[in-house]
Structure 1
Amino acid sequence: MVDYFSTLIAVSDDCPVERSVVPAPHNGRKTVAVLQHELLAGRPYELTQEDVLFRSWLMRQPGCEDRTDDEVAALRDTFFAKSQACLRASPLPKKYGFGLLFDAEGRVALCPMESEDYRAGLHREDVKVLKAMRSSRGRPGASR
Structure 2
Amino acid sequence: MKDMNYYDTFIQVAEDCPVSAAIVPKAKGESRTIPVIQYEMLSNHPYRYTQEDVLYEVFAERNQISEQERAAAREKFFSKGQPCLRTSSLGKRNGWGIHHDPQGKVAIYAVESEEYVKLMNDKGITQCKAMRSKRA
Query: TM class, shorter-chain normalised?
Result: over 0.9
CA displacement at 1:27 relative to structure 2 = 3.3
1:93-104 matched pairs, under 5 angstroms: 93-104=91-102
Q: Distance in 2 between matches of 1:136 and 1:26?
A: 23
1:55-87 per-position Cα deviation (integer Å, ceiling 9, x unaligned): 01111013x3x431xx10000000000100011
TM-score, structure 1 normalization: 0.88
Query: Which residue of structure 2 lines up, in the alignment, with residue 120 of structure 1?
Result: 118
Q: Distance in 2 between matches of 1:114 and 1:37?
A: 17
Aligned residues: 134
Give identity over the alignment, percent. 40
Query: Which residue of structure 2 lines up, in the alignment, with residue 60 of structure 1?
Result: 62
Query: Which residue of structure 1 lines up, in the alignment, with residue 23 of structure 2?
Result: 21
Report runs of 4+ in structure 1 exceeding 4 Å deviation: none
CA displacement at 1:29 relative to structure 2 = 1.9
Name which of 76, 79, 85 aligns with 2:77: 79
1:29-52 per-position Cα deviation (integer Å, ceiling 9, x unaligned): 211000101111121111000000
Q: Distance in 1 between matches of 2:67 and 2:4?
A: 28
Q: In the alignment, residue 97 of structure 1 is paired with which amino acid?
A: G
Aligned-residue CA RMSD (Å): 1.2
5+ unaligned residues in a row in structure 2: which ranges? none
Q: Distance in 2 between matches of 1:29 and 1:72?
A: 20
What SS is found at the alignment partner of 2:78?
helix
The structure having more radius of gyration, on CA atoms, is 1
What SS is found at the alignment partner of 2:72?
helix
Q: Distance in 1 between matches of 2:60 and 2:44?
A: 20
Query: Which residue of structure 2 lines up, in the alignment, with residue 46 of structure 1?
Result: 48
Q: Distance in 1 between matches of 2:85 and 2:11?
A: 8
5+ unaligned residues in a row in structure 1: which ranges? 140-144
Query: Which residue of structure 1 lines up, in the alignment, with residue 128 of structure 2?
Result: 130
TM-score, structure 2 normalization: 0.93
